[in-house]
């Protein structure tokens, strides 16, 4: 059985407290690794290593040298592509085609994209008049923020971790990463890549463990951490924000969502069914941008529900290495119990169960895995728990609507504001509705189509700040103004 250790100062090290915990496969519930749990002393060591690198060799590199190293990281990830695919499949149990075509390539791309952004972003300058007539020149420079605490989630572990580490390092910071306890493999494996391409020791550090009274809390409360970036649920974000207030440290949060999908009667019907199917059930519904509320214009409502039911009932369960499989398990037994509790609650609240609602019959070797059925409901009021609360599972509630104003009000009637997807062939309507929906990102006639240069983040309780392209620089750097009297 594999032992996964912390990665501190360029070395893999056991936790000083001697604690370990199990990582179980979501596919069959077997123990597949033991993970070293970082304590306060380990987090201290990681932060010290990050600070030393910042003040040492890493901090002395030119921008061009940094960019070259990050390109090397991306190339080495690509060279070790199969290792990262295998590690991610082990943690998540998701089909290999998702890893091969989305999550791992995007993880590698995050290093090149942000290296290019930092290399090409201009600085601002202003000439100003002075009383003596000689003038002055103001110009801005960007400097690294310092040691960044990176708290990353389990649903797309490598992609979402590198989405933070890539721009942080491109801007000249150092990082201490705390991956989810459910997905330790790829963060640990990336340490080997960093060493292989010559990233100075201490630039990239990983502390494994849990949240409260473990590595996560120790990292977010550490006074040596200059800023914290977190992707995860809203309640955890609130706790981290309280910790970050001690020292007035910056935060960047991408939090929960209860995203709406809006389908107008004039939509390309087959494309809309395919798009909503993906947005509700990709990665077994464990996508922060996923669609759990679907609003369909009444003339096509019944037809749409029937078509989505057919698609949901045709999923192919299987191990991630099974190329015929297109649907995996949830991340863990604990998360399965959460999702199943909502499945039961929907019935208790009077939902019409269109399909799913339980556990699939799996062969004996997979029977102990975290498998649940893709599930569709109709007939619930907007006050129902499964319509209001983020489930983070493969499910959606579908409701008919009769007009543009009505559906905008329905879409906005939530505490969250992360994303939405709108399906219509009326371009004017698409623009009108997109401007009125209170979310950070709207897709028109598509979903999960991401240009990494664009702003990404949530409104309301779905997050604080924006990342992506030059927007990431606002978080990962400090801008200083220099005024020169001429």
SS (H, E, C) 311-323: HHCCCCECCCCCC
CA distance 427 to 386: 32
Among the listed residues 254, 292, 297, 467, the single catalytic one is 254
For 102-131, letters b (16+ CB in 10 Å) and e give bbbbbbbbbbbbbbbbbeeeeeeeeeeeee
Provide φ and ψ at 90, rounded to 5°: -60, -40
| 288 classed as catalytic | yes
Among the listed residues 171, 288, 395, 396, the single catalytic one is 288
CA distance 421 to 432: 13
| 396 classed as catalytic | no
Q: Cβ(411)–Cβ(420) under 8 Å?
A: yes
User: Of 447, 448, 412, 449, nearest to 433 (Cα)?
Assistant: 412
Q: Which residues are catalytic?
A: 254, 288
């Amino acid at each position: 059985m594999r032992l996964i250790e912390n990665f501190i100062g360029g070395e893999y090290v056991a936790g000083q407290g001697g604690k370990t915990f199990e990582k179980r496969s979501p596919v069959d519930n077997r123990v597949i690794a033991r993970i070293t749990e970082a304590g306060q002393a380990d987090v201290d060591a990681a932060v010290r290593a990050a600070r030393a690198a910042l003040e040492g060799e890493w901090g002395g590199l030119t921008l061009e040298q940094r960019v070259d190293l990050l390109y090397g990281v991306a190339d080495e990830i690509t060279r070790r592509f199969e290792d990262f695919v295998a590690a991610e499949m082990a943690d998540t149990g998701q089909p290999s085609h998702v890893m091969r075509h989305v999550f791992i390539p995007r993880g590698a791309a995050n290093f090149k994209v942000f290296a290019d952004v930092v290399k090409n972003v201009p600085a601002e300058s202003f000439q100003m008049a002075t009383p003596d007539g000689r003038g002055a020149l103001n110009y801005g420079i960007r400097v690294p923020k310092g040691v960044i605490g990176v708290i990353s989630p389990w649903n797309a572990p490598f992609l979402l971790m590198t989405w933070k580490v890539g721009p942080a390092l491109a801007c000249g910071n150092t990082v201490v990463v705390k991956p989810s306890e459910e997905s330790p493999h790829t963060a640990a494996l990336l340490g080997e890549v960093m060493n292989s391409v010559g990233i100075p020791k201490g630039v990239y550090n990983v502390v494994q463990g849990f949240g409260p009274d473990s590595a996560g809390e120790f990292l977010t409360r550490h006074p040596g951490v200059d800023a914290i970036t977190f992707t995860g649920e809203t309640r955890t974000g609130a706790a981290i924000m309280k910790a970050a207030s001690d020292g007035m440290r910056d935060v960047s949060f991408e939090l929960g969502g209860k995203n709406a999908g809006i389908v107008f009667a004039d939509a390309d019907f087959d494309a809309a069914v395919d798009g909503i199917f993906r947005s509700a059930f990709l990665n077994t519904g464990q996508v922060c941008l996923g669609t759990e509320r679907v609003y369909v214009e009444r003339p096509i409502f019944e037809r749409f529900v029937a078509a989505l039911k057919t698609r949901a009932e045709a999923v192919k369960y299987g191990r991630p290495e099974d190329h015929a499989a297109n649907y995996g398990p949830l991340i863990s037994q604990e998360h399965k119990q959460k999702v199943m509790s909502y499945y039961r609650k929907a019935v208790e609240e009077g939902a019409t169960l269109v399909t799913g609602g339980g556990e699939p019959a799996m062969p004996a070797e997979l029977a102990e895995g975290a498998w649940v059925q893709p599930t569709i409901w109709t007939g619930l009021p907007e006050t129902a728990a499964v319509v209001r609360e983020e489930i983070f599972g493969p499910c959606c509630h579908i409701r008919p609507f009769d007009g543009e104003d009505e559906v905008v009000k329905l879409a906005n009637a939530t505490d969250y504001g992360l994303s939405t997807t709108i399906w219509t062939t009326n371009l004017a309507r698409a623009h009108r509705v997109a401007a009125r929906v209170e979310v950070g990102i709207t897709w028109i006639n598509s979903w999960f189509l991401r240009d990494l240069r664009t702003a990404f983040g949530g409104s309301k309780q779905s997050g604080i700040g924006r990342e992506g392209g030059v927007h990431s620089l606002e978080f990962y750097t400090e801008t200083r103004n220099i005024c020169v009297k001429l």
